[in-house]
A and B are shown apart, each in its own frame.
Chain A
């Protein structure tokens, strides 16, 4: 049973397209796993769609659209459309074509994990897994837009040293359970940590715990000695 969800205001902003692409990614991935939030988003989408389209014809003349209409109808129909927002997957935010190769599962430590559809679109850009301290593995995911994304796997008994956060850290539990001394999280839970929170996650779950984490819009250092920080920015912004 999923206990931790995005705030309704965040879901609503997602529906309106008013959150950052990185936030949209993890909110959408949560909705893949969470029936309740998926229903909420679908309902909100119906409401706002009606609000946008149940309107009188705008005054601007349709003459301006002739060339656009002509250009569009020149286009071929797309045969296969992996990034298409069909009605079933209509929460997923399609990634640019180049990154839309689907990767359905992650394999790690003899376990196979099925990814939520939204993450399947970006998992092709997953870097190598590296072992960190305390039965912890981490693999970065390249996003092509601001935000630092990682898959993190805590083996049974694995832990992350106590830390606080810079900015906002989102964590989505993909498989297994972990406890951070404040709460106990299970598959599908959506965890938000800010610089007010200090926590020390650890997993005692038999199968360990796989999570997807996202640090929204970290500073990107561009010049001088600060460029040294870039290879480690995940240590600063975790």
Chain B
């Protein structure tokens, strides 16, 4: 359990425009001396303001605090990259926060993908709004894919079915059909080439 360090309340009248030079000096001290007191000043000013912005943007307290923590961690760890000649502390910290925001979006989207592509819950996946919102166009495409699949030679079809629909590994398919692994691989390749060709013709 970490013991909290009291955070100094900054004077609310001071705006960063007025205290940019002061904040710059603090960040430089963090970079050069790992000065915790200086960081506390920077943190005390920026963290609460960043939190209210993040809360407005994301509408979620936990995500907002995650953003504040990740952003301020970057300020602490990468203070040496700050260059006062190239921009104000506000602009620098906001840019870090934006990058953290994109990082968080990537992670969130990635998580969503993980859950949905997980074969453990195929039923849940079917019920996601995305699946239901398929346009007529896409439904036709799916049907057409079905026809193309049916047109594959029987041997290729059974390999593709086992791998892409039943989700088996190529080795499992080889064992099941009593054929060499190389044959499974070449049949898969041929079938995919053929489907690709059919799709291209279709375009």
| B-binding residues in A (CB < 8 A) | 15-18, 20-21, 24, 42, 45-46, 48-50, 52-58, 60, 62-63, 65-78, 81, 84-88, 90, 92-96, 133, 144-146, 161, 163, 166, 219-220, 222-229, 231-232, 235-236
Let me know if B43 and A65 touch, CB within 8 A: yes
- Between A46, A69, A74, A219, the greatest number of chain B beta carbons within 10 A of the residue's beta carbon is seen for A69
A-B contact pairs, 17 of them (CB 8 A): A17-B97, A17-B105, A49-B91, A57-B9, A65-B47, A69-B5, A70-B5, A73-B36, A77-B34, A81-B78, A84-B74, A85-B92, A87-B82, A93-B103, A220-B113, A228-B145, A229-B142
Q: Which of B4, B34, B81 contacts A87 (CB 8 A)?
A: B81
B26 at the interface (CB under 8 A from A): no
| Known pairs A58-B49, A228-B195; A65 contacts B83 (CB<8 A) | no
Let me know if A21 and B199 touch, CB within 8 A: no
Q: Which of B73, B80, B93, B106 contacts A72 (CB 8 A)?
A: B73
Q: Shortest CB–CB separation between residue A29 and chain B, in angstroms?
A: 13
Q: Shortest CB–CB separation between residue B94 and chain A, in angstroms?
A: 4
A45 to B96, CA, bound (A): 11
Let me know if A68 and B113 touch, CB within 8 A: no
A191 to B128, CA, bound (A): 32
Cβ–Cβ < 8 Å partners of B160 in chain A: 228
- Between B4, B83, B95, B164, the greatest number of chain A beta carbons within 10 A of the residue's beta carbon is seen for B95
Q: Shortest CB–CB separation between residue A70 and chain B, in angstroms?
A: 5
Q: Shortest CB–CB separation between residue B75 and chain A, in angstroms?
A: 8
A71 to B117, CA, bound (A): 35
| Known pairs A70-B2, A145-B113; A50 contacts B52 (CB<8 A) | no
Cβ–Cβ < 8 Å partners of B83 in chain A: 86-88
A21 to B106, CA, bound (A): 6
| Additional A-B contact list (16), CB under 8 Å, known A17-B101, A53-B93, A96-B106 | A20-B105, A45-B91, A46-B90, A52-B49, A53-B90, A54-B16, A68-B65, A70-B5, A75-B77, A76-B77, A85-B96, A93-B98, A225-B142, A228-B145, A228-B164, A235-B199
Q: Shortest CB–CB separation between residue A113 and chain B, in angstroms?
A: 25
| A-binding residues in B (CB < 8 A) | 2-10, 12, 15-17, 31, 34, 36, 39-40, 43-53, 57, 65, 68-69, 72-74, 76-83, 86-88, 90-99, 101-103, 105-107, 109-110, 113, 116-117, 122, 125-126, 130-131, 134, 137-138, 141-142, 145-146, 149, 160, 164-165, 192, 195-196, 199-200, 203
Cβ–Cβ < 8 Å partners of A50 in chain B: 16-17, 90
Identify the 10 closest CB pairs spanning chains A and B, nearest first. A66-B4, A49-B94, A87-B86, A57-B12, A17-B101, A86-B81, A49-B90, A62-B7, A53-B90, A78-B77
A166 to B146, CA, bound (A): 20
Q: Which of A20, A71, A226 contacts B142 (CB 8 A)?
A: A226
Q: Shortest CB–CB separation between residue A18 and chain B, in angstroms?
A: 8
| Known pairs A53-B49, A84-B78, A96-B103; A145 contacts B109 (CB<8 A) | yes
Let me know if B10 and A57 touch, CB within 8 A: yes
Let me know if A225 and B146 touch, CB within 8 A: yes
Let me know if A220 and B48 touch, CB within 8 A: no
Cβ–Cβ < 8 Å partners of A60 in chain B: 48, 51-52
Let me know if A72 and B113 touch, CB within 8 A: no
Q: Which of A53, A84, A85, A146 contacts B46 (CB 8 A)?
A: A53
Let me know if A90 and B95 touch, CB within 8 A: yes
